[in-house]
Amino acid sequence: MTLKKFVANKPRALPVIILADTSGSMSIDGKINSLNQSLKDMIKSFAQEARSRAEINVAVITFGGQAEVHLNLTPAHQIEQLEELQATGGTPLGQACLLAKELIENKEILPSRSYRPVIILLSDGHPTDNYSLAFNELINSDRAKKATRLALSIGADADDSVLGDFNNDIEAPLFYAKNASDIHRFFRAVTMSVSNHSKSQAPNEPMKLDFAEVAEGELVEDDFDLDF
């Protein structure tokens, strides 16, 4: 009997994509060290998640001097060691957005059966490249619009306007890290949130919808005349 041959033997992925500013300024006040440790801790927690109902996958895209994929989207339990991020150069956010869009729209890497991705942007400065077009194309792309996007503003020089535009989770507004330990706190919160989500009764239902909150509008032709 061969019915089972039609069933996928790969688990559904819960992708977590980190867009990390690794510009030279991140080397100041222990920020890059805190980020490195935070990422390692997060991946370790994901890898040890025993009651997960999804396979948590992690990708890291860095932008410092130039943007690059530091870690391809990989199941957390398969990541043996994350190479340390190095802080150097400017802040080419636009390049990072291009790489992120390429990744999130790749349907072989992120098949449609994946759970809604979580994309995290963290930065301590202003973009140094012509980022607007790539940034807007990323946040307005069909798939990125459906992702949960969180942002971390590090220090006093971060571009909160850009980070605020990136963030689309109304229940988790832009998070501010005044110092290196706040970076760790942020990633602890992300780790807990993603872990809980992966274990939740319905990882396929990422947000709580309150039907009572739906604005009452005029009935249009396509609408049913239902009162509830």
Partner 1 sequence: MLKLIKTSVIGPGHLSDNLPNQDAIGHFISNEYWAIVVCDGMGSRIHADIGSIIAIQSIKAVLKKSDFDAPSKTVIAEFYQHWLNTLKQRAIKPNDAVTTVLIAWGDHQGHFRFFQLGDGVICTTKTNYTKTLIDEFSNLTTGLGLSKQYGDWTVGHGALSAQDNAILLMTDGISEDITEHCDFTEALATYSSNRSPRRVKKHLKDMFVSWPTPFHTDDKSLAMVILNDKK
- Name the residues that contact partner 1, by CB under 8 A: 1-4, 6-12, 51-55, 107, 112-117, 142-143, 146, 200-206, 208-212, 222-226, 228
Q: Which is nearer to partner 1, 10 or 156 (CB)?
A: 10
Cβ 99 vs Cβ 67: under 8 Å: yes
SS3 80: coil
The Cβ-side half-sphere exposure at 198, using a 13 Å CA radius, reads: 29
Phi/psi of residue 19, nearest 5 degrees = -105, 105
CB 87 within 8 A of CB 32: yes
CB of residue 170 to partner 1, shortest distance in Å: 17
For partner 1, the closer of residues 9 and 81 by Cβ is: 9
Cβ(127)–Cβ(93) under 8 Å? yes
In the complex, the smallest distance separating the C-beta of residue 62 from partner 1, rounded to whole angstroms, is 25
Identity of the residue, 80 or 223, whose beta carbon is nearer to partner 1 in the bound complex: 223
CB of 4 to partner 1, least distance (A): 6
Residue number, 181 or 204, with CB nearest to partner 1: 204
Instruction: Pick left, alpha or beta for residue 52 (phi over 0 → left; psi -120 to 50 → alpha; otherwise beta).
Output: beta
Nearer to partner 1, 10 or 81 (CB): 10
Sheet architecture: strand order including 13-21: 66-75, 55-64, 13-21, 118-123, 148-154, 175-177
CB atoms within 10 A of CB 69: 15
Closest to partner 1 by CB, 113 or 178: 113
Smallest separation, CB 120 to partner 1 (Å): 17
**Least separation, in Å, of the C-beta of 13 and partner 1?**
10
CB of 26 to partner 1, least distance (A): 31
